[in-house]
């Protein structure tokens, strides 16, 4: 089945640790995105990538980092510099910017 | 700066009713508009994409319309079912290749 796979579904991080969220797609899409969702707030863009080896910061990139070494993969690292990382993280892809976006099932990150 | 508003924030209706969810945006210079569904604790499911040159799109019991000049889109759900209960999100693609999101409408269909 074609789609976007995010793993893990739940992730717990201790204070001061870096953690990496996985996002893989087999839709052959060029563009990929990371969003953060907090209760009562709309989705906010963290990073996006329009093509392999290129990515741009979104509205809330501080404390996060990404890489795009392969077309199908766009991992997100939540660093210790992110002061409030507890949230629901969603990965998405589209054939190209401004076309239909498809989402994964999300990763819920909790700081313990 | 583009802003997207969804009204109402929450809606509860009996099963079988037809209903309309509203989405408005401040800048008519959009590329496309997309409607999504989100179940609690889950990811987003794309329902309909309306291209900027289109006036409406239909999928099953769902019909979405787009009026760029007035900055409005509506999602019409016919013959609602309890399984339609979810949060519905509207998002527009802007000129900077980013989706701009509304806060969503939480829909509850009562059996």
Residues of chain B found within 8 Å of residue A103, distances taken between Cβ atoms: 36, 43-46
Q: Which residues of chain B register pLDDT less than 70?
A: none
Alpha-helix residue ranges (DSSP H) falling in chain A: none
User: To probe the interface with B, which of A30, A60, A90, A98 has the most B CB atoms within 10 Å?
Assistant: A98
B62 at the A interface (CB within 8 A)? no
CB A7 within 8 A of CB A91: no
**Residue in this structure with the two tokens 């016919």, named with its chain if needed:** B78
Predicted confidence at residue A1, as pLDDT, reads 62
pLDDT band with cut points at 50, 70 and 90 for residue A88: very high
Closest-CA residue to A103 (of A22, A9, A25): A25
Q: Tell me the pLDDT of chain A averaged across its residues.
A: 93
Provide DSSP, A41-72. Answer: S--EEEEEEEETTEEEE-TT-TTEEE--SBTT
pLDDT exceeds 80 at position A97: no
pLDDT exceeds 90 at position A41: no
């Amino acid at each position: 089945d074609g789609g976007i796979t995010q793993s893990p579904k739940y992730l717990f991080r201790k204070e001061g640790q870096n953690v990496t969220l996985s996002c893989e797609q087999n839709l052959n899409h060029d563009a990929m995105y990371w969003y953060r969702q907090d209760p009562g707030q709309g989705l906010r863009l963290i990073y996006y990538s329009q093509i392999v080896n290129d990515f741009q910061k979104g509205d809330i990139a501080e404390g996060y980092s990404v890489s795009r070494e392969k077309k199908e993969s766009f991992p997100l690292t939540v660093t210790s510099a992110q002061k409030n990382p507890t949230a629901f993280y969603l990965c998405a892809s589209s054939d190209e910017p401004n076309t239909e976006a498809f989402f994964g099932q999300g990763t819920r990150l909790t700081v313990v | 700066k583009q802003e997207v508003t969804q009204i109402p924030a929450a809606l509860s209706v009996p099963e079988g009713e037809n209903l309309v969810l509203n989405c408005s945006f401040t800048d008519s210079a959009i590329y496309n508009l997309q409607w999504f569904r989100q179940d609690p604790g889950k990811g987003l499911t794309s329902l309909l994409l309306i291209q900027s040159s289109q006036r409406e799109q239909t999928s099953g019991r769902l019909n979405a319309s787009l009026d760029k000049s007035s900055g409005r889109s509506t999602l019409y759900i016919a013959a609602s079912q309890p399984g339609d209960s979810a949060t519905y999100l509207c998002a527009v693609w802007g000129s900077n290749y980013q989706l701009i999101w509304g806060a969503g409408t939480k829909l509850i269909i009562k059996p």
